Structure 1
């Protein structure tokens, strides 16, 4: 006789993988459809039409959550309007975005070249396609250069092909497959994406990748330890200072990497409306003893002061949470903005989704 846990696992293995968001513009009047489409990405990019007058803008967006990765499919076939999009001046998210444009030519799909950018830095581009696929990755993915990636042309084509194949395979996948898809995708992209200014010899790459993974685990476990230092890491990893510094050079150096992780932790705590401690007390907990210096460093990293980050985080959290007397929110009805924020808050707060 099977236990409840065994029955749950078996059921999960046969549950078809479903997209968590499936929305289209058909619910809006024709003249308002583009504005509705633009609102889906309001916290990610600013989108404008280079031709103002249009009869309609039929678009559909579907999103799949694959662990900490998000695959986005957007189609607006035959709209014929050239669009300009740019990253937000005060970004909420700092994900990597790998995008594959798609066009229909005489009924045949033609795939464009892979585009990539970090949502946290200024970027502007134009496009006139029939849709696109985007894979959104955490900014700290694969110890990459903070704001830029160096992808060889042949690897860019390979990644574009993989994203297309991944998208086409999703109808045949189950919820149980998500763990394996995430692991396989992360490993493949880590092998294809090399940090900018990466001077590591190709032969040492796999070994250094293991060292970085071990270092990241130690840093995560000991982040609140005031004695956490490059020297302590070297002893724990049994590597020289020069090698550790070289491995983390693309991330701005080991000290910068640790400082950024601590800043990210303070940002998480500031977004928690349950934690009422002062900003200076939170900063001190994570090794920032000088409140003024912390505020300057925080603003340089995230483009806003800790006070503003706290206010924005609390407002956003209050908006996303469902009041006890309300029915649970249907994730399938949420726009991409809310899904990414939900992922960001996952593990830190008990929101109702």
Structure 2
């Protein structure tokens, strides 16, 4: 998935505006050439890394897109390719000696559905490897072999580590477009620490990787909560079993947002809020509240007002959404709701 070895990690130079949004190191698309030439261009992207060949004798077109992010001494790539299968084989003498974490992705899922990713793999470009692409899109993280924790010729990724690394790669993929140049050294350091903890576990490596590991768990937990928000079984103990983490770990991760129970309750309150301001939803307030687990009307009304500053009936009557109708009672209260609305 890469056409050049990663560059050494550097701090933002004087010529680089650290506040500018991070840009792709490489972005290219096969649409720049005629359809009959598109697969050949796609093949050339991987020169010096791997041999790529089509499974069909003729490929009338091969619309593909590649974006590459330079993260210090790491390189992160997203490849979007059509459904046409193609072969991939490592070269006997590649131009670069790197490990590569590879995550197959499907096409973008329908709105509201979870992304069903493929099995995470770790390969060295210098090791023999051949496969047929089974997914259309791919994420790949290229890691230089000279990092201190990658000196071994054989590295196995255990299932627990696969889960962490898969979630982290998805989180990184979503986060990169919003990063600034100044964030690169911190992201590179956090990613390297996480890789060390997952690929060569030790007490020191795990301690260094605690923050990115917890960020990955928090990301997976928030997606699990969103998926099961209407499930009456959704509670801290159920979430621990679903995520495979201890209660103490879960509580520590959710502590900055008020705790896991508070987080679940807040997300459910937001669901009721969205329904209340929807003019096409004519259900009663109590029916909406019960859908999201609030069975006692007075308790629900009290929690809603504490969270958003107005009662459920006022929210419905005023068509209130977000913080547009927050009443100016005091600055801290308004700021709190604004921060909640943006989080």
What range is the shorter-chain TM-score in? 0.5 to 0.7
Could you tell me which residue of structure 1 aligns to residue 189 of structure 2?
Answer: 183
Could you tell me which residue of structure 2 aligns to residue 159 of structure 1?
Answer: 165
Could you tell me which residue of structure 2 aligns to residue 92 of structure 1?
Answer: 95
Could you tell me which residue of structure 1 aligns to residue 140 of structure 2?
Answer: 134
Could you tell me which residue of structure 1 aligns to residue 104 of structure 2?
Answer: 101
Would the aligned equivalents of 2:193 and 2:205 in 1 still touch at CA under 8 Å? no
Equivalent pairs counted in the alignment come to 192
Note the 1:61-80 alignment, pairs <5 A: 61-76=66-81, 79-80=82-83
Q: How big is the shift at 1:140?
A: 2.4
Q: Deviations over 1:78-109 (max 9, x none)?
A: x2222211111111111001011011276464
Could you tell me which residue of structure 2 aligns to residue 50 of structure 1?
Answer: 55
Bigger radius of gyration, 1 or 2? 2
Could you tell me which residue of structure 2 aligns to residue 27 of structure 1?
Answer: 32
Confirm whether residue 206 of structure 1 aligns to residue 203 of structure 2. yes
Confirm whether residue 17 of structure 1 aligns to residue 22 of structure 2. yes
Distance 2:135 2:141 in 1: 17
Which blocks of at least 5 consecutive residues in structure 2 are unaligned? 1-12, 208-343
RMSD: 2.3
Would the aligned equivalents of 1:71 and 1:135 in 2 still touch at CA under 8 Å? yes
Which blocks of at least 5 consecutive residues in structure 1 are unaligned? 1-7, 195-201, 211-353
Distance 1:17 1:52 in 2: 40
Would the aligned equivalents of 2:43 and 2:51 in 1 still touch at CA under 8 Å? yes
Distance 1:33 1:10 in 2: 36
Q: 1:153 to 1:30 in 2, by over 3 A?
A: same
Q: How big is the shift at 1:173?
A: 0.5
Could you tell me which residue of structure 1 aligns to residue 8 of structure 2?
Answer: none
Q: 1:64 to 1:106 in 2, by over 3 A?
A: closer
Q: Could you state the TM-score of these two structures normalised by the residue count of structure 1?
A: 0.51
Q: Could you state the TM-score of these two structures normalised by the residue count of structure 2?
A: 0.52
Note the 1:321-336 alignment, pairs <5 A: none
Q: How big is the shift at 1:113?
A: 1.0
Q: Which has the higher contact order (CA 8 A, sep 6+)?
A: 1
Q: 1:149 to 1:30 in 2, by over 3 A?
A: same
Note the 1:206-285 alignment, pairs <5 A: 206=203
Distance 1:168 1:27 in 2: 26
Would the aligned equivalents of 1:104 and 1:110 in 2 still touch at CA under 8 Å? no
Distance 1:81 1:106 in 2: 18
Q: Deviations over 1:29-85 (max 9, x none)?
A: 101101100101111110112222222100010101000000011101xx2222211
Distance 2:19 2:195 in 1: 27
Q: 1:153 to 1:208 in 2, by over 3 A?
A: closer
Q: Deviations over 1:2-41 (max 9, x none)?
A: xxxxxx8798331100011110001111011011001011
